[in-house]
Each structure stands twice: as C-alpha cells, then as structure tokens.
Chains A and B, each alone.
Chain A
Amino acid sequence: MTRKMPDHYYKLLRDLQAMDFVLVELTLYLDTHPHDMAALQQYNQFASARQHLSAQFEQEFGPLKHFGQGYTRAPWQWNETPWPWQV
C-alpha cells in the first residue's frame, strides 16, 4: 500500500532517533560507569524528554511499541504501514 508520509514524519522520527541515540550511548557508558552522577542525571533528563517526544510522535503516527506499551485508536493501529524498513 502506498501511503506518502509527510516531511514532518521524517523530521519527528529523526528527532526521536537522535534523542534515543544519546540514551543508548549513556546506557552503555553507565553499564561500566555506574557511579558517574553527571551521566546519571543526564540519562534521567533525556529519559523524561524522550517520553514527551515519543508521546507526540505516537499521537500523530500511531504506536511505536506493542504489548500495551502504547495506546491505539480504532481500527488497531499496530498493523498500519510504514514498517521501519519501508520508510
């Protein structure tokens, strides 16, 4: 099925990818530096900002996660394209 995603989709997706990437990097760093207070603080700050951004994304483009980790409208939104490898 062809569904042209607006530029806004790509922009918001990239914002989320950037924020989540910082969290991946901080996670691996904290795995080996569990006492670094500055890094812990930054991790929690980004985790909170990440929640807001993903909620905004999901509001517009449907759930990012399954198994009750997000909300759905009718009909069931999880099945909607595009899947990550299709965009």
Chain B
Amino acid sequence: MIDNYILAPVFIHLFSAILQLIAWRKTVTQRVISIVGSLMGVILSAQLFSKVYKGGILTMNASNWDSPFGIVFVADLLSTTLVLITSIAALAVSIFSATGISRQRMLYGYFPIFHFLVMGLNGAFLTGDIFNLYVWFEVIIISSFVLMTLGGRKTQLEGAVKYMAMNILASTFFLTGIAILYGITGSLNMADLAIRVKLIENQSLIGITSCFFLIGFGIKSAVFPLYYWLPSSYHTPPSAVAATFGGLLTKVGIYAIIRVFSLIFVPDDFTKNLLMVLAILTIITGSLGALIKINIRRLFSYLIVCHIGFMIGGIAMFTKIALMGTIFYLIHDILVKTNMFLIAGLIRQIRGTMNMASLGGIYAQYPKISLLIAIVLFSLVGIPPLSGFWPKLYLFEASFTNNQYAFAGALIFGSFVTLYTIAKMWSEVFWKDVPESVVVENNFEPMPLFKKTLLVLPIGLLASVTLYVGLNAEVIIILVGKIADQLISTQPYIEAVMGK
C-alpha cells in the first residue's frame, strides 16, 4: 500500500534541526525546539507504527518514480518498531541533554547535529534502497563524528580518531559491496535485488559479495574481531552523546545485517556457521573485557560488545524462534543501553567521576533514584520478569533445538559475566561508602529542582518503557513473532514494493 507520509518521522527531525540552525547560539530556544521536536517524533512514529501494525507494509516511491527505478521507502513492522523505539530513546536523550550537556557544546551546535543524527537513524530504518541506506549511514557517521569531537578534550579527540578511521573504512567496504552487487544484478532496490540475486548462476560470487556487507556492517555493529574501536572511543564523549551512540548506532548495524541477510542474501550454511562463530567469540571477548574495567563507561562499552553477540547468534540460527529472540533483544537493548549511559552521566553529575574506585554511597544519599536505577540494571542482567529475560529464553530455546550448544554455553557465560560486573558495579557505586581520600564534587545537589527533574525524568521514562516491555511481554512476543514471520517469508515485502 502506498502512503506518502511514512517519512514524517524523518522530516520532523530535519525541520527541528533547521529551526535550531536558525536559532543559532540561542541555547534556550534550541532546548525547547529539541524536546518538542522529539516529542512530536514519538507521536508521529507511534502513528506510523499503529498504521503498519493494522494495515500491513506501507511503501512510498520518492519523486513518484515507480520501483525498482526510483528510491523506495518501505515501512514494514521491523523498521517501524525500531523507528518507534529510536524516537523514544531520542526523546529521553534530548530531555537529558537540556541539562547534561555544557553550554559551550550547545553553542557549537550540539542540538542541530543531534537531530540530524536521529534523522539519519530513522531514514536508515525506513529506506528500501541499498544505496540510499549507504547515504543514511553517512549522514549518521558524519553527525556522530561532530558529536564525538564537540568540546575537544584530549581523550575525546583520541577516541574520535579511532572511531573515524574505522567507520570510514566500514563505509568503504559497504560501498565496494554495493558496487559489486550493482555490477552483478544491475539493481539497487532491495526487493528487486532479492528477486534477482536468486537468479544468478554463480552463487559463490554472491557469497563473496555478502562478505563485504558483513565486514562493513560488522565494523559498525562492533562484531568480533572488528569491535576494538568501540571500547576505545565510547567512554570519551559526554554521556548524553555516548547514550545515543551506545544505544542506537551499533543497533543500526544489527538492523542492516538483519535486513540485508534476510532479504538479499538468505544465509546458507557457510554464512550461518561464520555468523555463529563470530557471535560466540564476540560474547566471550566482550565479557572478558568487561570483567577488568573499573571505569563505568568502559565497562558498559564492553557490555555492548558482549550483547551484540547475543543478537548475531540469533541471526546465525535464522529460525523463527531465534529471530524472535534477536528482535526482542534488539528492542530491549536500545532502551536499556541508552539508559545505562544516561545513568553514567547522572552518576558523573552526582560524584564528579566515573571511576568505580572513587565512587560510592549513592544509595545512602539518593535511595529513590538508586531504586529506579536498580530496575534498569536488573533488566540488563535479565532477572525475570524484566525485559532482558524473555529474549534470552527464546535464544536458549532456539540454540537447543538447533543443536548450537556452544552458543548456549556462550550465552550462559555472557549472562553470568553481565550479572557479575553489574553486581560489582552496584556494590562499588551504590553500597560502598565513599573512600575517605576522595573529595566529592557533587554538582547535582545544588541544582534547582527543575534541572534535577530534567536529569532524572529521562531515566525514569526509559525505565518505565523497559518495565512495560518486560511485564507486558505477551504483547511484545506477538509483535516480534509477526516481525520474524516477515523476515523469514519475504514475499509480502517484495510484493508491497514491486506490486503484484
């Protein structure tokens, strides 16, 4: 079905960015525009989601060119769900940024760039054209470069160099893959590619091409052995920025892997085994890294890597149950990881540091906030009935029915390490008293109530969405079941784009 309004979540962020550029250096106006724009983004994407949930896949042919000749935008259940979750996370980050980002950074244009980034994310989810996906990826990485370097402390720039080099390299791989794919098939439309790739006789060539995409997306989503740029750069920018990066950017890579490997290159045994090995090694190396870190954000960065492995493993098995687990984990991970970095930012405001050795006593001082944070930490670990538990259950079931016992073992190992590191962090940061040698600089206490609310509200917002996802799991499971069906039988997608 054709619907011309599916790009509304993209346009709303474009227009908020433009309005903020017009209000250059007026930081108060920018903050208001940002929050209002993100709120409208949530409303519009919720509308889009309900339209797609009730009415099936929607498409839009840009410039009225019929597919496969023009650029087509497709809103299926997977993309609209991710747009909705992204918009919620973006709203939380934009509320947090209103006080969590220094005025200096706002003057350099933090807010417009943030909205360009969210626009790029939404565009990447909604596009149905592989080259257009590349363009949206570039929009994302250029904005993320600027966000990463804004402010220009030494560690930040050091992280930015690594981040920049690896991400440009990933884009080059992606572009090379697109070039070869276009050379082989003569099309860029993903639905059209899905038809044409199956007709190619030389399937091993297709396999090699798919490796270019795997490397490109693998760098972006931090898969072993290409993840090392992530822990060496994500701890450097301000926490609101790190929240956007940690929560959303790696997940676009996962989305791209799911989309490309379900639609265009349907995984054969070789790809499945490759993905499975990568998933297991990602989980193990990521969790080993997390074990030794004493800085909260470095710890979280390694946990991101570890949990990316869970999702890759689900894609590797490629059965309905496994994909349900992956998609559910994706939804859970975006919400929780964004929140974790926001929490790190809050801890920094309260104690002036993020080093676990010199933190402590937060539970005694702020019991209510600590309990709120505890909900998030419990869902990350996956205590039933919170949101981290359900996807793991599905992944376990899938790994046993597919005889992937190594993955089941890695899953257990990864979950236990997550539990251990989070428990360690809880006792170090919240229970232990502040070490006597440390002078606490509490920026949070002297703030007026309004600013305090702006810092705690987004954490509460994301935590309540996480709670909803966990406690209302039966609704979410129906949703992810439908998504998994759409991913396995791609005929409705192709028909929606190409016409019958």
Q: Do A and B bind each other?
A: no
**Which A residues fall within an 8 A CB radius of B?**
none
